[in-house]
């Protein structure tokens, strides 16, 4: 019996037991559909949560000064002169001061901790935000010293019930419990950069953000006394990030003549660590879903064993007519491959379909991996 004859006989035998064949395939269908759906939703959710975090740090790095270095002097604090030197080199796309601090926001006799960022036109290009109401700062407002501020949408909803209601309202913050509050007018509301992460893992303390022009910040906190927190730089080509970090370090060493005084670091560490955690969780969930595929495979083995026992006389007759053990084996293998093959194809289609439907309802675009599809199909077959 050749291959085509074995294939034909296998189809005939399966058609003769349509219900049993379908129930056998059902385990494979459910198994593969589960793996593909869970894998697609898991990867899509992972990208949904960490995508903005990665984007915010892609191709960007910071420079800080090691104040504990024995050669450190106050004249080596990060300042506008260092920013200008890095800009004049022409090696980087954007260079800006990077200043942030935690302050107490006061609203209707309530105090709440919030992240305050001093921003510049270059900083707005490096760390772009999406404005959902109002506007960002106008060019002249960066140097006018006006008491204006932009806040994130989560804070706006919390304080004023909506983003639009927050526009034109006043908000105050203080640097310490005993300081006098300074009042600022809200001119814009931007999307909280951690909004997607907050929706998934919201806790009692939600990170909140607001930005004021650097000149306004300087008049309140007097930057000349303590310098900047850090300098943030953006590479012209993100692929050359490591090289640009080295160049920045060399420029600073040339200015001061001191090695290792300034620390150059990427700003994607947090996103990468969180991405690793989600990736591990995704692998675990997919593995659990894969157990159903294993159960489906055992179901196929069980049914084929029953099929062999039921057809003992048929096997005996075939062998009496000259069929070899190999021919008998191929026939049963063809039946099982047909079951798992068709079940796999149906499972792939249903898995992708379920992933898209579920993703639509939970607001996630599923990402289907070719590797997971091939692997699950290969295992079932």
What is residue 151's predicted lDDT score, i.e. its pLDDT?
Answer: 93
Task: Tell me if 357 sits within 8 A of 44, measured CB to CB.
Answer: no
Q: State the average pLDDT over residues 113-131.
A: 89
- pLDDT band per the 50, 70, 90 thresholds, residue 188: very high
Task: Tell me if 258 sits within 8 A of 52, measured CB to CB.
Answer: no
Q: Which residues contact 250 (CB under 8 A, 6 or more apart)?
A: none
Q: State the average pLDDT over residues 204-229.
A: 80
What is residue 105's predicted lDDT score, i.e. its pLDDT?
Answer: 81
- HEC letters along 246-279: HHHHHHHHHHHCCCCCEEEEECCHHHHHHHHHHH
Q: Long-range contacts for 354-357 (Cβ within 8 Å, ≥24 apart)?
A: 354/33, 354/37, 355/36, 355/37, 355/40, 355/41, 355/44
What is residue 163's predicted lDDT score, i.e. its pLDDT?
Answer: 92
Q: Which residue has the higher pLDDT, 134 or 206?
A: 134
Q: Which residues contact 258 (CB under 8 A, 6 or more apart)?
A: 69, 71, 76
Using the 8-state DSSP alphabet, how is residue 163 labeled?
H
Note the pLDDT tens digit of each residue in 65-115. 888 777 888 777 888 888 888 998 889 999 999 888 888 887 666 777 888
- pLDDT band per the 50, 70, 90 thresholds, residue 187: very high
Query: pTM above 0.75?
Result: no
What is residue 190's predicted lDDT score, i.e. its pLDDT?
Answer: 94
> Number of H helices and number of E strands within the chain?
14, 10
What is residue 92's predicted lDDT score, i.e. its pLDDT?
Answer: 92
Estimate to the nearest angstrom the gap between the alpha carbon of 86 and the chain centroid. 31
Lowest mean pLDDT across 22-26, 49-53, 217-221: 49-53
What is residue 152's predicted lDDT score, i.e. its pLDDT?
Answer: 92
What mean pLDDT is reported for the chain? 80
Q: Which residue has the higher pLDDT, 105 or 244?
A: 244
d(C-alpha 105, C-alpha 176), whole Å? 10
Q: Which residue has the higher pLDDT, 226 or 118?
A: 118
When mean pLDDT is compared over 39-43, 96-100, 298-302, the highest value belongs to 96-100
- pLDDT band per the 50, 70, 90 thresholds, residue 122: very high
What is residue 102's predicted lDDT score, i.e. its pLDDT?
Answer: 84
* 204 phi, psi to nearest 5 deg: -65, -25
Q: Which two tokens stand for residue 168?
A: 């034109």
- Select from 179, 225, 190, 217 the least CA-distant residue to 98: 217
What is residue 353's predicted lDDT score, i.e. its pLDDT?
Answer: 92
When mean pLDDT is compared over 39-43, 151-155, 216-220, the highest value belongs to 151-155
- pLDDT band per the 50, 70, 90 thresholds, residue 268: low
What is residue 149's predicted lDDT score, i.e. its pLDDT?
Answer: 93
Note the pLDDT tens digit of each residue in 329-364. 777 787 778 888 888 888 889 989 998 898 888 777
Q: State the average pLDDT over residues 106-126.
A: 83
Task: Tell me if 231 sits within 8 A of 62, measured CB to CB.
Answer: yes
């Amino acid at each position: 019996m050749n291959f085509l004859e074995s294939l034909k006989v296998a189809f005939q035998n399966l058609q003769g037991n349509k219900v049993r064949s379908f129930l056998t395939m059902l385990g494979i269908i459910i198994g593969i559909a589960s793996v593909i759906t869970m894998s697609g939703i898991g990867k899509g959710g992972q990208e949904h949560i960490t995508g903005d975090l990665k984007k915010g740090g892609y191709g960007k790095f910071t420079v800080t000064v090691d104040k504990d270095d024995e050669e450190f002097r106050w004249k080596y604090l990060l300042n506008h002169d260092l920013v200008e030197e890095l800009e004049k080199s022409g090696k980087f796309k954007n260079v800006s001061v990077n200043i942030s601090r935690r302050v107490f926001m006061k609203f209707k006799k309530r105090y709440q901790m919030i992240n305050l960022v001093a921003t510049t036109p270059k900083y707005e290009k490096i760390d772009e935000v999406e404005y959902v109401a109002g506007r960002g700062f106008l060019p002249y407002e960066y140097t006018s010293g006006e008491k204006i501020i932009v806040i994130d949408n989560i804070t706006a909803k919390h304080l004023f019930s909506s983003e639009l209601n927050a526009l034109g309202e006043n908000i105050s913050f203080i640097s310490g419990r005993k300081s006098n509050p300074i009042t600022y007018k809200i001119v814009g509301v931007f999307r909280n950069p951690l909004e997607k992460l907050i929706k998934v893992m919201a806790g009692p303390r939600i990170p909140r953000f607001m930005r004021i022009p650097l000149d306004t910040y300087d008049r309140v906190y007097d930057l000349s006394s303590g310098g900047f927190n850090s300098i943030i730089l953006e590479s012209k080509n993100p692929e050359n990030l490591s090289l640009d970090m080295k160049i920045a370090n060399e420029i600073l060493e040339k200015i001061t003549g001191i090695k290792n005084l300034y620390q150059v670091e990427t700003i994607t560490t947090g996103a990468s660590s969180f991405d690793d955690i989600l990736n591990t969780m995704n692998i675990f969930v997919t593995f659990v879903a894969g157990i159903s595929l294993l159960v489906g495979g055992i179901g196929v083995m069980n049914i084929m064993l029953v099929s062999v026992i039921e057809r003992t006389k048929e096997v005996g007759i075939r062998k009496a007519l000259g069929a070899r053990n190999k021919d008998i084996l191929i026939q049963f293998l063809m039946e099982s491959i047909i079951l798992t093959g068709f079940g796999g194809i149906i499972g792939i289609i249903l898995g992708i379909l379920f992933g898209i439907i579920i993703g639509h309802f939970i607001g996630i675009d599923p990402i289907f991996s070719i590797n997971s599809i091939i692997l699950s199909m290969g295992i079932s077959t």
